[in-house]
């Protein structure tokens, strides 16, 4: 899934005109940062599931709103519009344009993509949004398939470990029974 996240983040951020992008995955009802891109600093990270509550680089009010409502959120001038202007994040970071889109496949919520531009207002144009919607229909399917493959790989590994453990237990039990039989044979001969 790492390679998929790498490609996805690069393509989406490039096509959106964003400076930063964060992919957030839903796992067991909680949200985790899985990947982030900062174009301005030329930084890209695939992370090992950082809970969003641990992050100070995201507006949690927007993330939680988009996750709860499953609605696309577009703020053309985030410093002045919307119900989120009182969020501490906006007072410290002062972002201009924000786009947060829930990723859903077959009615199942997979996660969110948060995009931000701190240089210009209205960075996310209608044309770019249409491109992103097309991309996201494919991304949702790819992510769902990658998650299924990851889960299958984990299940296979667990099954292999269980099989090895079971084989060891059978071998130990066989040795115990062999020793017990030998002891019984010795006792019967006496």
pLDDT tens, position by position, 35-61:
888 887 766 666 678 899 888 888 999
Cβ proximity of 33 and 48 under 8 Å:
no
Report the pLDDT averaged over residues 161-169.
86
**Domains delineated in the chain:** 2-150 (3.30.450.40)
Cβ proximity of 86 and 60 under 8 Å:
no
Give the alpha-carbon dihedral of 131, 133, 138, 144, to 10 degrees: 150
Give the per-residue pLDDT at 187. Answer: 83
pLDDT band at 33 (very low <50, low <70, confident <90, very high): very high
Which residues, including other chains, have CB under 8 Å from residue 90's CB and lie 6 or more apart? 59, 78, 79, 84
Give the per-residue pLDDT at 46. Answer: 64
Q: How far apart are CA 112 and CA 17, in angstroms?
A: 17
- Lowest average pLDDT, out of 64-73, 107-116, 156-165, goes to 156-165
Look up tokens 């009802």; give the residue. Answer: 29
pLDDT band at 70 (very low <50, low <70, confident <90, very high): very high
User: Which string of DSSP letters, residue by residue, matches 157-182?
Assistant: HHHHHHHHHHHHHHHHHHHHHHHHHH
Give the per-residue pLDDT at 69. Answer: 94
b/e for 56-68, b at 16 or more Cβ within 10 A?
Answer: eebbbbbbebbbe
Look up tokens 């039990």; give the residue. Answer: 173
Cβ proximity of 34 and 47 under 8 Å:
yes
Q: How far apart are CA 20 and CA 41, in angstroms?
A: 9
CA distances (Å), origin 150, targets 107, 142, 146: 20, 12, 6
% of the chain surpassing 90 pLDDT: 17
């Amino acid at each position: 899934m790492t390679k998929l996240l790498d490609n996805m983040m690069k393509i989406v951020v490039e096509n959106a005109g964003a400076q930063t992008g964060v992919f957030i995955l839903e796992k067991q009802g909680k949200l985790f940062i899985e990947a982030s891109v900062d174009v301005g600093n030329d930084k890209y990270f695939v992370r090992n599931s950082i809970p969003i509550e641990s992050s100070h680089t995201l507006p949690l009010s927007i993330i939680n709103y988009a996750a709860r409502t499953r609605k696309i959120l577009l703020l053309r001038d985030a410093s002045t519009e919307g119900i989120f202007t009182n969020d501490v994040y906006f007072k410290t970071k002062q972002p201009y344009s924000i786009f947060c889109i829930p990723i859903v496949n077959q009615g199942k919520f997979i996660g969110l993509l948060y995009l931000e531009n701190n240089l210009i207002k209205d960075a996310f144009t209608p044309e770019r949004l249409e491109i992103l919607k097309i991309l996201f229909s494919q991304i949702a399917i790819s992510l769902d398939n990658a998650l299924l493959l990851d889960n299958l790989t984990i299940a296979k590994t667990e099954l292999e470990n269980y099989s090895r453990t079971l084989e060891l237990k059978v071998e130990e039990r066989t040795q115990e029974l062999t020793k017990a039989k030998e002891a019984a044979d010795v006792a019967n001969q006496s």
